C-alpha cells in the first residue's frame, strides 16, 4: 500500500530512468551510425556534420507539429468548442480542477462521436486544450468525469505533449540517419578503394546493424515512455481529486464500451486517455497467452486497463 505522493514520486523516478535510457541509446546509435556513414562517404570517422543536418531536418518537422499540434489534432478530430450552457458538467468540472491544480483553465472542445474518450494537447499549460467526445460526456457521471479531466490536466501539468515531441525529434533523427546509411551502402561508397583496417569494418557492420534496429528500438522506448506517462497521469488525477473511485469506474466504463472512435488514428492514439483501438485486445489474462500479451504490450501506447485499475485500487 502506497500513498498517492509515494506513487507520484516513484512514477517520476521511473519515467526519468526511461527518458535517460532513451537519451543514452539515441546518443550511442547516432554516434555509431554517423561513424559508419562517415566511412562510407569517404571521410574519416567523425562525420558529425551529417548528424547536425539530420537533427535540423527532424527538428524542423517536429517543431511544426509541436507548435501547431493543438490546431492540427483538433482539425483532424473535427472538434468544436464547448460552452458552459450546453456542456455544463464538462465545463464546470474543468474549471474546478483548474482551480484545484492551480493551472489556467484549458480550452475545451467536444468531438461529435459517441465512443467515450478524451485527450489533452497543447504545448504548455497556457495553450492547453482538453478534448472530450460527446459519448464520454453522456455516459459518465460528474465524479467519473472529474477523474478523467484530472487525468488530462496532469498530462498538461507534466508537459507530456512537450516530452513526446522531444522524443519524436530523437526518433526521427535516428530513423533519418539510419535511412541515409542504408541508402549509402546500397549505392556503394567510394571509400572501398581505400584501406580501412579492421576497426573500419567493425564500425561499418555495427553501423548497419544499428541503422536497421535502432529506429525500432527507439520507437519501443518512445512507447514505454508513453505508457509510463499514463500511470503518472492516473496518479496525478487522484492527487487532484483525492478519490480514485471516480477514475476507476470511468476507466471501466470507457474500456467496456465497444464503440470505436472513428476520428482517431495511429498518429493521435497516444493522446487519448484509453487507447482508441479497442478491437485489438492486449494484455490477455489467460496464462497461455501471457507471452504474446507481453510482446504485443511493447507496441502499445497505453498500459493494459487492468494494470491501471489495479494501480488505482492500491492507492485507495
As annotated, the active-site residues are 152
242 is a site residue for other proteins (CB under 8 A): yes
Give the angle 207-213-219 at the CA atoms, nearest 5°. Answer: 130
Closest contact distance (angstroms) between CB of 102 and other proteins is: 5
Q: Give the sheet arrangement for strand 107-111, strand by strand.
A: 80-81, 107-111, 129-133, 118-121
Separation of alpha carbons 206 and 213, rounded Å: 10
**Binding test (CB under 8 A) with other proteins, winner from 11, 62, 101, 164:** 101
Which cell is 299 given?
507496441
Separation of alpha carbons 305 and 309, rounded Å: 6
Residues 6+ apart with CB under 8 A from 176: 54, 57, 58
Residues 6+ apart with CB under 8 A from 231: 11, 303, 308, 311
126 is a site residue for other proteins (CB under 8 A): no
Task: Provide the 3-class DSSP secondary structure of residue 255.
Answer: helix
Tell me the window of 29-37, 92-100, 163-171, 212-220 that interacts with other proteins (CB under 8 A): 92-100
Which cell is 134 given?
460527446
**Binding test (CB under 8 A) with other proteins, winner from 42, 59, 100, 293:** 100
Tell me the window of 9-17, 93-101, 127-135, 222-230 that interacts with other proteins (CB under 8 A): 93-101
Do residues 172 and 55 touch, judged by C-beta distance below 8 A?
A: no
Determine whether 125 is exposed, middle or buried from the number of CB atoms within 10 Å of its CB (0-12, 13-18, 19+).
middle
Q: How many CB atoms lie within 10 A of CB 289?
A: 13
Closest contact distance (angstroms) between CB of 157 and other proteins is: 12
97 is a site residue for other proteins (CB under 8 A): yes
Nearer of residues 37 and 153 to other proteins, judged by Cβ = 153
Tell me the window of 54-62, 67-75, 84-92, 130-138 that interacts with other proteins (CB under 8 A): 84-92
Closest contact distance (angstroms) between CB of 236 and other proteins is: 12
96 is a site residue for other proteins (CB under 8 A): yes
Closest contact distance (angstroms) between CB of 251 and other proteins is: 22
Calculate helix-pair angle for 88-101, 142-157, nearest 10 degrees. 50
Question: With CB under 8 A, what is the number of residues at the site for other proteins?
Answer: 13
Nearer of residues 59 and 100 to other proteins, judged by Cβ = 100
88 is a site residue for other proteins (CB under 8 A): yes
92 is a site residue for other proteins (CB under 8 A): yes
279 is a site residue for other proteins (CB under 8 A): no
Applying CB under 8 A, the residues found at the interface with other proteins are 88-89, 92, 95-97, 99-102, 142, 239, 242
Amino acid at each position: 500500500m502506497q500513498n498517492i505522493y509515494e506513487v507520484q514520486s516513484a512514477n517520476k523516478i521511473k519515467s526519468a530512468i526511461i527518458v535517460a535510457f532513451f537519451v543514452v541509446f539515441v546518443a550511442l546509435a547516432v554516434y555509431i551510425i554517423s561513424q559508419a556513414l562517415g566511412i562510407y562517404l569517404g571521410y574519416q570517422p567523425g562525420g558529425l556534420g551529417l548528424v547536425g543536418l539530420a537533427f535540423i531536418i527532424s527538428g524542423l518537422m517536429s517543431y511544426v507539429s509541436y507548435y501547431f499540434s493543438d490546431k492540427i489534432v483538433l482539425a483532424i478530430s473535427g472538434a468544436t468548442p464547448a460552452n458552459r450552457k450546453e456542456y455544463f458538467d464538462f465545463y464546470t468540472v474543468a474549471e474546478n480542477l483548474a482551480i484545484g491544480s492551480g493551472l489556467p483553465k484549458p480550452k475545451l472542445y467536444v468531438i461529435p462521436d459517441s465512443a467515450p474518450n478524451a485527450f489533452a494537447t497543447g504545448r504548455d499549460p497556457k495553450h492547453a486544450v482538453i478534448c472530450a467526445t460527446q459519448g464520454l460526456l453522456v455516459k459518465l457521471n460528474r465524479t467519473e468525469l472529474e477523474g478523467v479531466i484530472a487525468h488530462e490536466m496532469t498530462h498538461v501539468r507534466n508537459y507530456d505533449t512537450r516530452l513526446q515531441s522531444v522524443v519524436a525529434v530523437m526518433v526521427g533523427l535516428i530513423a533519418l540517419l539510419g535511412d541515409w546509411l542504408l541508402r549509402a551502402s546500397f549505392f556503394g561508397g567510394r571509400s572501398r578503394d581505400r584501406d580501412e583496417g579492421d576497426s573500419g569494418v567493425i564500425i561499418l557492420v555495427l553501423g548497419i546493424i544499428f541503422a536497421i534496429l535502432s529506429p525500432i528500438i527507439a520507437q519501443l522506448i518512445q512507447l514505454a515512455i508513453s505508457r509510463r506517462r499514463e500511470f503518472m497521469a492516473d496518479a496525478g488525477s487522484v492527487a487532484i481529486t483525492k478519490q480514485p473511485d471516480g477514475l476507476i469506474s470511468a476507466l471501466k466504463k470507457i474500456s467496456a464500451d465497444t464503440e470505436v472512435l472513428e476520428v482517431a488514428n495511429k498518429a493521435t492514439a497516444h493522446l487519448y486517455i484509453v487507447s482508441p483501438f479497442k478491437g485489438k485486445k492486449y494484455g490477455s489474462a489467460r496464462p497461455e497467452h501471457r507471452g504474446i500479451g507481453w510482446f504485443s504490450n511493447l507496441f502499445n501506447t497505453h498500459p493494459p486497463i487492468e494494470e491501471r485499475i489495479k494501480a488505482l485500487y492500491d492507492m485507495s
